[in-house]
A and B are shown apart, each in its own frame.
Chain A
Amino acid sequence: MGPGKEGPSPVRVFLLSRGNSAIADRAFRWLMTLCAFSIFGIVGLIAWRLMVSSQMTWSQFGLGFFYKSFVDPVNHQPMYWDPVNGYFSAVPFIYGTLVSSFLSLLIAVPLGVGLAIFLTEMCPRALRGPLAFLTELLAAIPSIVYGLWAMYALVPLLREYVNPLLTSLLGWTGLFNNDNPTGLGFLAGGVILSIMILPIISSLTREVMTAVPHSQREAVLALGATRWEMIRMGVLRNARIGIVGAIILGLGRALGETMAVTMVIGNTPEIHKSLLANGTSMAAVIANEFSEAVSDLHRSALIEIGLALFLVTIVVNACAQLLVWVVTRGAPAQAR
């Protein structure tokens, strides 16, 4: 609208009366920067607090806390953890956490990715909704419920049927020695963890697979690909970074999961090659012993295990990020 007899239009008058919002803009920027940097603050504070509270174990055992073992004065076997007599080492807990977590990945990754492939590429429309909903529902069940189910359903099942079978088939590897009559142990922990991380892995994988453009699928099909080849070359290949991300998130949850694992892993601070043996994990020992610590040193050792859990999580995530970086170096990250 040009300048008429009545002067400038009301819209123009209104817009001219507005400032340039420079102050609001700057305040917004500072606020957002603060939000971003608070992450560093939170991580730093947690690490600092854990270090301070575990000062007593640091000064007594040093870095050896994370790799040394002791010798039992009575039976001369290696020994790691004896709160009453003041022996503390984090080794069996780190071992148990890593073994049960990676075992859970071994089960949950093929299952979760397979489920995601079925849901995005093959599932009849009518089944897709309910199946996806049920998968997500698995994530909503409290871990104590998983623990109870594992104790009363999973562990007897393992004890009666699965463990003897594994021993007879794969006992020669040394990984499945059935000398534990309880049915508890690393395998029980790994299986229950795998069920708990399955929804994370499958729903995130499903999301990245859905995000792969349809044109990529058509490109592969037009070359004469079968359905499986289309999924492999046109979908999984393009979604691989997202899938690794999904696996990392699943691993993150598995590393820190406490309740369900505590209930079925056996809570024995020992290291065994056999996956059917009793073990323990970092989160489990903290949950079990912290409220009943026998000494300040014991409490300090448990806090240092918390610090170790914190560090293990960071290191595992960093390794995974490094893996992604190495695999994708030189190639652009995503399909257009």
Chain B
Amino acid sequence: MGVGIEVSNLNAWYGSNHTLQDINLNIPANHATALIGPSGCGKSTFVRCLNRMHETNPIARVTGMVRIGDRDIYADAKPVEIRRRVGMVFQRPNPFPTMSIYDNVAAGLKLNGFSNRRALDEIVEHSLRNSALWDEVKDDLKKKSGASLSGGQQQRLCIARALAVDPEVLLMDEPASALDPVSTSKIEDLIFQLKSQYTIVIVTHNMQQAARVAEKTGFFLNGRLVEFDSTHKIFTNPADKRTEDYITGRFG
């Protein structure tokens, strides 16, 4: 089951560039939340702060509080613990090319020393079914490499890899932007199914996508959260003029 996320006074920097300024919001558990905004507005930086990936860049810096479930992730946890509970899917599919499909999915568990073979088999199958890839790959799980799949399949493999460690939160940074329309709609269907079990935060450039999959939507502009409300409200009756300009295509 997913948990909620509470963010208060979050600031982030790349070098001297203040990319996130005073972000405050509450992301509800077991729902999909979309983050939209023009390129460079800070939405990717924001999700990377939720699993402490932002700080893997040596020039990056973060202040503020992020509470995931009952833990303040910057105060009383190590990044490694956080990332086990908060899965991430990246913009470009990044399966491990030297591993089989099976090993790709099992990677997170093997990393943490999980070695019960039968349980592993079950988890791999369950994760691949959850990511709607099982039927396409079940015959060559251990024969084919992760890189031999098509782009859309690779992205679903990456989702399965993230699901295999049973995270509480799933972060998706433009998961469909490198994919064709058919693969994109598969990923969207998947998000729709998964959000009952996980808290999903999805960054997207595609406003229709946000409208289709998310209950809540946040609009970022120039490092600030301009508006955060129900998706319906954002797309039909936004409170802020800038949000309206963006969703009606007047800029961005």
Contact = CB atoms under 8 A, between A and B. Distances in A.
Decide if A and B are genuine partners: yes
B75 interface: no
B32 interface: no
Interface stretch (B1-9, B80-88, B121-129): B80-88
A216 B90 CA distance: 11
A222 B97 contact: no
A229 B85 CA distance: 17
Nearest to A221: B56
B182 interface: no
Contacts of A237: 96, 98-99
B53 A229 contact: no
Contacts of B90: 215, 218-219, 222
Contacts of B82: 224
A222 B145 contact: no
B111 interface: yes
B94 A218 contact: yes
Per DSSP, are chain A's interface residues mostly helix, strand or loop, or mixed? helix
Contact of B84 (A223, A332, A334): A223
Contacts of B108: 223-224
A330 interface: yes
A240 interface: yes
Interface in A173-225: 213, 215-216, 218-225
Interface residues of B, number: 32
Contact of B83 (A215, A224, A334, A336): A224
A151 to B, nearest CB: 44
Nearest to B171: A222
Interface in B66-125: 80-85, 87-88, 90, 92, 94-99, 107-108, 111-112
Interface string A300-323: 000000000000000000000000
A332 B145 contact: yes
Contacts of A332: 97-98, 145, 147-148
A336 B88 contact: no
B197 to A, nearest CB: 19
A281 interface: no
B107 A223 contact: yes
B213 interface: no
Interface string A224-256: 111001000110011010000000000000000
Given A215-B90, A218-B56, A330-B143, A224 B97 contact: no
A22 interface: no
Contact of A216 (B87, B94, B162): B94
A323 to B, nearest CB: 16
B34 interface: no
A15 interface: no
Contacts of A148: none
Interface of A: 125, 213, 215-216, 218-226, 229, 233-234, 237-238, 240, 328, 330-332, 334-336
For the complex of A and B, the 3 pairs showing the least CB-CB separation, nearest first, are: A224-B84, A223-B108, A222-B88
Interface of B: 51, 53, 56, 58, 80-85, 87-88, 90, 92, 94-99, 107-108, 111-112, 143, 145, 147-148, 158, 161-162, 165
